[in-house]
Amino acid sequence: MTTSIINSQKLGDDLGNSDLRLKDIIKTLPRECFQQNRRKAWTQALVSVLMVALGYYSLTITPWFLLPIAWIFTGTALTGFFVIGHDCGHRSFAKRRWVNDLVGHLFMMPLIYPFHSWRIKHNHHHTHTNKLDEDNAWHPIRPEVFESWGKRRQSAFELFMRKRLWWIGSVGHWAVVHFDWRKFKTKEQSGVKLSVAVVVIFAAIAFPVLIATTGIWGFVKFWFIPWLVYHFWMSTFTIVHHTASDVPFVAANKWNEALAQLFGTIHCDYPRWVEFLCHDINVHVPHHISTAIPSYNLRLAYSSIKENWQPYLHNECQFSWSLMKQIVDQCQLYKTDVGYKSFNEYYADRSLASK
């Protein structure tokens, strides 16, 4: 565990006052962190293709009682597909834009994830990390926002948090955010339409063929359940990357990019096989310092960041059920300039206020 000298209240006070700039941190990173290596990039892509192929082969030969293991492996390997597309979206996979766009579409196509719409929305997250009302990844809900919702929406959100359903969060984000090109700027809409068309055409061909050859159960077995496992990791990675009871989300006038990326991004260690299949995407702090760092250089960059900026880093954590339980149970609503509250604390405060 690293030890941070910053607590959330102090950081919230400092976000608008610190002179620290992101470029100051970037200057301390070794130049090698930013060097693209064609061999490493394509090796990662090949590894992902081979691991996904192995996963699907295992699904064809695995007895029914071992299918959960094969599904978990295949879905995690498919998450590696997303990470390749993720590098392409940040233009860190290849030097030529058309190569990034082509590879990004190919690797995100089986996930039915429109490449350009994801790329645009994800870059917005990097620009506004942990900024209230702007960060469009996993962001907290303020009590006043919660109170403005109808009873049905409030009940659904409370059920989602209390029943620890975080693992389906990215399915909703995928469905709501990435297919409607009207939600994008005019100059972005043509790219979004192209990406939506790519995945729609893929689904229109692949799904009927899969069902015709393997039946509805084959569709569920070979695509839907591995896809849900992929979304489990997407949801988990996203919430863990920026959520802890002491990580502040602050208003724009108090927000400092450098401190938000350093302290507001959390390093979490996962089982080594997950790190391998997902190309170290969970070494996430350097990725928020600079999206130009390819995934195969993240560990090198993180070593440098720990050496030079450790006092500003959040404590590291290790993936476990208890970690997820702690995050989802504690980080339910967020009061501006105060921090996270659970629903129980929120209702207790309301009860006291009404007396």
198 in a domain, yes or no? Answer: yes
DSSP alpha helix (H) spans, the chain:
8-14, 22-27, 38-61, 67-89, 97-108, 115-127, 143-148, 151-162, 169-177, 186-219, 225-242, 257-263, 272-277, 285-289, 298-309, 321-330, 343-353
Residue 276 neighbours by CB under 8 Å, 6+ apart: none
Distance CA 173, CA 242 (A): 16
Return phi, psi of residue 172, to 5°. -65, -40
Looking at residue 9, what is its pLDDT? 45
213 in a domain, yes or no? Answer: yes
Domain, as residue range, for 79: 8-353
- Tokens representing 279 are 């190309």
Q: Is 60 exposed, middle or buried (0-12, 13-18, 19+ CB in 10 A)?
A: exposed
Alpha-carbon distance values, 292 to 58, 64, 80, 96, 339 (Å): 35, 43, 18, 14, 31
* Residue among 308, 220, 231 at smallest CA distance from 2: 308
300 in a domain, yes or no? Answer: yes
147 in a domain, yes or no? Answer: yes
* Residue among 212, 200, 228, 207 at smallest CA distance from 74: 228
237 in a domain, yes or no? Answer: yes
219 in a domain, yes or no? Answer: yes
Q: Are 48 and 80 in contact (CB under 8 A)?
A: yes
* Residue among 132, 141, 143 at smallest CA distance from 348: 143
Looking at the structure of the chain, the number of domains it has is: 1
State how beta strands 268-269 and 339-341 pair. unpaired
Distance CA 117, CA 194 (A): 10
Q: Are 11 and 248 in contact (CB under 8 A)?
A: yes
Looking at residue 114, what is its pLDDT? 97
**Cα atoms found within 13 Å of the Cα of residue 165, Cβ hemisphere only:** 12
Q: What angle do CA 346, 351, 355 make, to 5 degrees?
A: 150
3 in a domain, yes or no? Answer: no
1 in a domain, yes or no? Answer: no
Distance CA 119, CA 130 (A): 18
Q: Give the pLDDT of the chain (355 residues) as one tens digit per residue.
A: 343 444 444 444 444 446 788 999 999 999 999 999 999 999 999 999 999 999 999 999 999 999 999 999 999 999 999 999 999 999 999 999 999 999 999 999 999 999 999 999 999 999 999 998 888 888 889 999 999 999 999 999 999 999 999 999 999 999 999 999 999 999 999 999 999 999 999 999 999 999 999 999 999 999 999 999 999 999 999 999 999 999 999 888 888 899 889 999 999 999 999 999 999 999 999 999 999 999 999 999 999 999 999 999 999 999 999 999 999 999 999 999 889 999 999 999 888 777 6
Distance CA 320, CA 323 (A): 5
Q: Are 47 and 83 in contact (CB under 8 A)?
A: no
